[in-house]
Amino acid sequence: MIESVSRRAFSSSSGTYNVRASELARERKLNIFNVTVVFLDDTEQSFQIEKKAKGSVLLEHVFQQLELVEKDYFGLQFTENGSIPNATNTEITRWLDGGKSVKKQVGASAQFWLAVRFYPPEPCRLAEEFTRYLLCLQLRKLLLDGRMSAPKNTALLLASFTVQAELGDYNTTEHSPNYLSELCLLPKQSAEDERRIRELHKLHKGQAPADAEANFLEHAKRLDCYGVESHPAKDYNGKDILIGVTSIGIVVFQNNIRVNTFSWSKIVKISFKKKQFFIQLKREPSESYDTVLIFNMRSGRAAKALWRCSVERHGFFRLRAPRRRPLLGALGALAGVTAPTVARTETQALEDARRSRSSNRSFVRRSSSRTRERSAGASPAQGAGAARGARVTAHREPAPRAAWGDAPPAAAPPDDDGGFLERALRVPLTYVDESESESAPERADEGGDGDGDGDGDGDGDGSGGEGGEGAVCVRLSAGADGRFGFNVRGGGGGAPVLVSRVAPRTRTYLQEGDQVISINGKDVDEMTHDQVVQMIRNTKGVLTLLVKPNAVYEPEESGPEEPAVCFVPLGSGQFEGDPLEQSMLLLGDGLASGAALKQYETLLRRISEESASVSKLPQNINKNRYRDIAPYDSTRVILKNGPNGDYINASYINMDIPNSDLVLTYIATQGPLPSTVSDFWQMVWESESSLVVMLTVLAERGRAKCHQYWPKVGSTPLKATNTLTVLTNSEQNHGHYIRRDMTLKSSCGASRSVCQLQYTSWPDHGVPDDAAAFVAFTTLCSQLRNRTHVIPTVVEEINGEEERVLDPPMIVHCSAGVGRTGALILAETALELLARRQPLYPLDLVRAMRTQRPMCIQNASQYKFVCESIQAAYSLGLSTADSASN
């Protein structure tokens, strides 16, 4: 009854109001949280999320906005005070945690910056061009604001790739002499820097933006600070250091020089407690104790941040799947702070990218380096609306020039403004084969022949042969030079044949890490690496490959690789222009690309034809500090009146200076043992040397490196032999080196002043912190070298040939007499060449040294340090100074 009345009452005129729905709408409006994200090209985008939304929601919105496929490498940064992340506020910069509320992490400030969180160790493995473009933008920002450093020549080379990617080929009609002044390429950019960048820019003719960026990344990945997230700390001695976390492990920097690396494979456990961070290393078979390294952080919060960073990078780069969190939160609380996890690992990300084989859709590049706004007539692509690097379906920019084609660009004007570097090089600057397929490769869905019938008959007419599950057939057309735009690794000894390097435009069809099963229908299982390479090179026309896509690429386990293209100098006298400047440009590029260190590693450590039999005689074995380091018989120092025979572990090294009569003479020797001190001073006397250079301390890490072979100041003279005594007159400490002036007297009444310089700033298992100090020390050694002959220089005829009597040698020693000793010899020879403006090729100098004493320059870090010291000396203008010997 009541219901019917109600219906009649409201039948003629009625209305409703949903109170709860209005309240919910009001609540939803109040719960909206507005955030702003700054992209890598400096454009901004606003997003609306719920206040209780987790960070993963915002991350997904950002990735969808950019249509970013390889999103696992990226993240969002914010600062505690809302300022822009830079080199000065790294301690208050945080990463957005996808598992926590956005509002709780950032508070009232809602400003985020897109950034690369995990730097791929091999950028060429990235499937998408857009991802590589964003990575380039990130690295340019880091180089400009000081969060990432690079040697000067490397920075110039990277800047030239940036110019090529943004402006295209160098054109004398379009580019004015000051065309680089509009670009901010270096932190402190000078006119001289712009001139050198321009010369390098000319070398990149024909490279499309994608190829220039690929070359940029190929050089940048070799920097010591690439992909390093640094945390300030102090070591056990209280020295300021930076602890960095990378894909390979944990690294330690001191004065911007990497002094230690702890790879993940050597680390057992990482932990923190209050302000201390601990690294426990794997116990070696010969050790009976655990090695635990302790670092002091600035605060407990800083120690926790370093620990979290280390755990996340280890999980991303080393694990195949993320670790699961404990089922009960209490379990994690009982053990301490619960270890963070990553959503996905790099292995999973690569597998998804390989499966998708996504086509690289076009997108608009924005010049991220402009120092001032363009005029009103700027092209629409440069405006704010089109600036962000999101993909678009079309744009007005002309199609990029192919960097891998065989023909030059159609409308490219002649290079009238130099080109001397191109004439000085035999190959252009690329990082893989120059050619690329003329036609797009065909790819079948499954194994079998290219027609897709899958019969797998392997008759050589384009069929791929039997490839098993997941195999695909790829057909590539050769370029004009017969190459196909990729390299291979492995083969022979059961090692699989893997694709190692691929031209950018071929990556849609071939990927780094793909396993080659057959070539032109022939199985490669029993082929050696050389046979595989030769078969590919001998193919005319179409190359048919049956490959198995592989997401995990481990090059260090796959055997030798076909060499990549690199700079090759033609030799002295072939250059046009300044030979010294061009040789330094080559050295800089070699260090930037890693080619210089690769070439160093290929040098023979000792000459097999040279015998060292005298060192192995029973009476001489105990005179060697290290059994595997001994002088060649042909260059060893022979004592005339040695108290213990004629043998001493020392070698003559003579370094000729081209186009002059100068020969730098050395005796490279080991640090004296207690039993060889008398032999050492007898050698000093007989060689008539007045300068001894010591490059080690007496003991390092509890191990004796050299016996103290001189007396202290004010003590009684040391009786070195029956006829020789040594007196130390004075000792002066100059910071990084000590100078001692001594007197060496003979019982016959003759005496000689001997100066000893002991360099004390070369750390154990490292290199000096200050290259400039090392150059200054080397210069001092050169100035103190005895250029006034004790034995007059005359020309004698022996067997009809003229023979010079050389200057007395500089005696140089460290512990073994090869590593640091070779470094000083290389440095002084290089400085002499710079002073005479002679072209300089350090690799040839090392090769010359090793023909006279084995193993000179013992490792790549020493070689790299000396080369960078040479570059520093050249940039300081030491090459313009007159040599003391001129």
The reply to whether 566 belongs to the active site is no
Q: Which residue in the list 124, 136, 473, 814 is annotated as catalytic? A: 814
Q: Count CB atoms within 10 A of the CB of residue 746.
A: 13
Closest among 350, 345, 263 to 552, alpha carbons compared: 350
Provide the token pair at 371. Answer: 């120092």
> Could you tell me how far CA 751 lies from the centroid of its own chain?
51
The answer for residues whose C-beta is within 8 angstroms of residue 117's C-beta and 6 or more apart is 73, 74, 75, 95
3 state SS for 565-583:
CCCCECCCCCCCCCHHHHH
Distance (Å, rounded) from C-alpha 174 to C-alpha 355?
A: 43
The answer for residues whose C-beta is within 8 angstroms of residue 635's C-beta and 6 or more apart is 651, 652, 653, 852, 853
Q: Identify the bridge partners of residue 736 per DSSP, sorted by sequence position.
A: none
At CA 179, angle to CA 178 and CA 183, rounded to 5? 110
Closest among 151, 156, 199 to 575, alpha carbons compared: 199
Identify whether the C-beta of residue 718 lies closer than 8 Å to the C-beta of residue 726: yes
Provide the token pair at 497. Answer: 């044949």
Distance (Å, rounded) from C-alpha 67 to C-alpha 65?
A: 6
3 state SS for 600-669:
HHCCCCCCCCCCCCHHHCCCCHHHCCCCCCCCCCCCEEECCCCECECEEEEEEEEEECCCCCCEEEEEEE
Distance (Å, rounded) from C-alpha 273 to C-alpha 284?
A: 26
Q: Within 13 A of 372's CA, how many CA atoms are on the CB side?
A: 5
Q: Are strands 291-297 and 276-281 parallel, antiparallel or unpaired?
A: antiparallel
Distance (Å, rounded) from C-alpha 156 to C-alpha 172?
A: 20
Q: Count CB atoms within 10 A of the CB of residue 699.
A: 11
Instruction: Quickly count helices (H) and strands (E) in the chain.
Output: 20, 32
Q: Identify the bridge partners of residue 488 per DSSP, sorted by sequence position.
A: 499
Identify whether the C-beta of residue 465 lies closer than 8 Å to the C-beta of residue 518: yes
3 state SS for 717-763:
CEECCCCEEEEEEEEEECCCEEEEEEEEEECCCCEEEEEEEEECCCC
The answer for residues whose C-beta is within 8 angstroms of residue 27's C-beta and 6 or more apart is none
Distance (Å, rounded) from C-alpha 81 to C-alpha 484?
A: 53
Element (H, E) at 134: helix 129-145
The answer for residues whose C-beta is within 8 angstroms of residue 323's C-beta and 6 or more apart is 315, 339, 341
By annotation, the residues acting in catalysis are 814
